[in-house]
Amino acid sequence: MLPVGDPRPCSGFGAMRSIRGTGVQGEWHMTDQPMRTVVIVGGGTAGWMAAAVLSKAFGSSLTIELVESDEIGIVGVGEATIPQIRLINQFLGLDENEFLRASQGSFKLGIQFNDWTRLGDSYLHAFGEIGLPIGLLGFHHYWLRASAEGLTEPYWAWSLNAQAAAGLRFDRLERIGQSPLGGIRYAFHFDAGLYARYLRSHSEARGVRRTEGRIVTVERREPDGDIAAVVLDGGRRIAGELFLDCSGFRGLLIEGALASGYDEWSHWLPCDRAIAVPSSRSETFRPYTQANARSAGWQWRIPLQHRTGNGHVYSSRHMSDDQAAAILLANLDGEPLADPRPLRFVTGMRRRCWVGNCIAIGLASGFMEPLESTSIHLIQSAIGRLLQLFPQRHIDPALRDEYNRQTRFEYERIRDFLILHYKATERDDSEFWRACAAMPIPESLQRRIDLFRADGRIQRDADELFTEGSWVQVLLGQGIVPKQHHPVADAIDRTRLHEILHASHALIARTAQALPSHAEFVAGISA
């Protein structure tokens, strides 16, 4: 898994390259009994992303059949991503400009959080690096020291992404000139339905077979209880050796047939409903997602080329559906283009995402509200993990156990990051926010908060998704300020430290001001 904003290949997609380069397409030992057939149940982003990656990685050595029904709608609201999406697009060989034209996409530099700590407060969780290497510690420790010595610029003044976002600017920029400062790190906003359609075309060109139909029966085999086949409403039987459940919230295979079980986290993440509606594109074409806190939840705003995606995520214990819809419609920045569409969900994850010969991917594996745009990333990382642990026909239980262990680790660390947004609030203007501020939280999150509050230390575990810089931005943005800076930050001369900070701040500001507008840049690739 790759930390947010880091452009290096992640382990799962590094494994893709090794699979492709070491003879997956035929160089097997006689005793290996390689997997030959994969059946994907469900389309949408999860199903077609899995189909595209597997067909690319294995070529003709793996037969892939995707079963979906046009009668069953897809959730399709996951329109905001994080920078890792670029890795999977690059692996698939997608032309970025073509992909953006096909999906009506735009660029994303981060997420703006409004009214989360207090009404009127705002901060940006920006992708990419903040500041530059100064000594042995992360940049924020030196910023904390300088702030105690009279520095007045906010932490985000040293983020090129944040400065570009403030000016509604964007460009593809790897580095700032010849300096050690990193350039723009970006992700995308896109129409999830169009993206799935684009991946479908890409997959079918590589031999993936699509079958239209509704599944009415799941056949189990004896004696192990694994899935033998799915049977469609017309009687057709589709057999396979490995099944990927991309059926969404229903979890048709992983739960309906295999009863994996579900760990619910609504006592920490209280929102359980959402209402989504598209609106006409705003004149202000922002290169960032907005997450605006409301009285019992929050509202997303995602700018696309042809429209704006909007949704209100809320707690049904604190607000009625009619109230939620009214708040959403009253806070659009363009005319609504359709009727609001309701969604219900339970935050949490399957107790096991790989059971027998079935692996749940996407919403079938669990749900984390889209507060930090992790939904599509969780699909991507699941597929990368599958490739890394891809089994032979006779599945070794150790592979399943490791897959489930890694999946739980990822979900729990993302869960803690999301809880932080709700817990670290000073709002007391509604029952919802008072309950969030008072709720007990996982010990793993409390330990991080206490450590940061002491002197700015961030303890990351292994290869968890969010970087030190991400944790610092949200902790500071939500009003958690360290009591003091790390003592090692005192090693640098005071005058030298302030000179470095002022010079790098000026360079970042000049670079951001010289970038083209986001609207101009997108128009240039859309023509």
Instruction: Answer whether 100's CB lies under 8 Å from 188's CB.
Output: yes
Q: Which amino acid is at 234?
A: G
Collect all residues with Cβ–Cβ distance below 8 Å to 404 and sequence separation of at least 6. 352, 353, 354
Q: Evaluate whether 211 touches 70 at the Cβ level (below 8 Å).
A: no
Taking a C-beta distance cutoff of 8 angstroms, is the pair 88, 53 a contact? yes
Q: What are phi and psi of 27, to 5 degrees?
A: -90, 70
Is 364 in contact with 313 (CB distance < 8 Å)?
no
DSSP characters for 482-510?
-SS--GGGGGS-HHHHHHHHHHHHHHHHH
270 by Cβ neighbours in 10 Å (0-12 / 13-18 / 19+) ranks as: buried
Give, as one character, the DSSP assignment of residue 180: S
> How many other CB atoms are there within 10 angstroms of residue 70's CB atom?
9
Best CA proximity match to 211, nearest among 195, 231, 189: 231
Under a CB-based contact definition with an 8 Å cutoff, are residues 361 and 38 in contact?
no
- Residue 524: other Cβ atoms inside 10 A: 10
Query: Which tokens belong to 2?
Result: 């790759």
| Residue 346, number of CB atoms within 10 A of its CB | 14
Query: What positions carry a catalytic annotation?
Result: 108
Looking up tokens 């005793």 gives: 31
Contacts of 381 (CB under 8 A, 6+ apart): 1, 10, 12, 84, 410, 465
3-class secondary structure, 73: coil
Whether 246 and 266 have beta carbons less than 8 Å apart is answered as no
105 Cβ neighbours under 8 A, 6+ residues apart: 99, 188, 189, 190, 191, 195, 304, 305
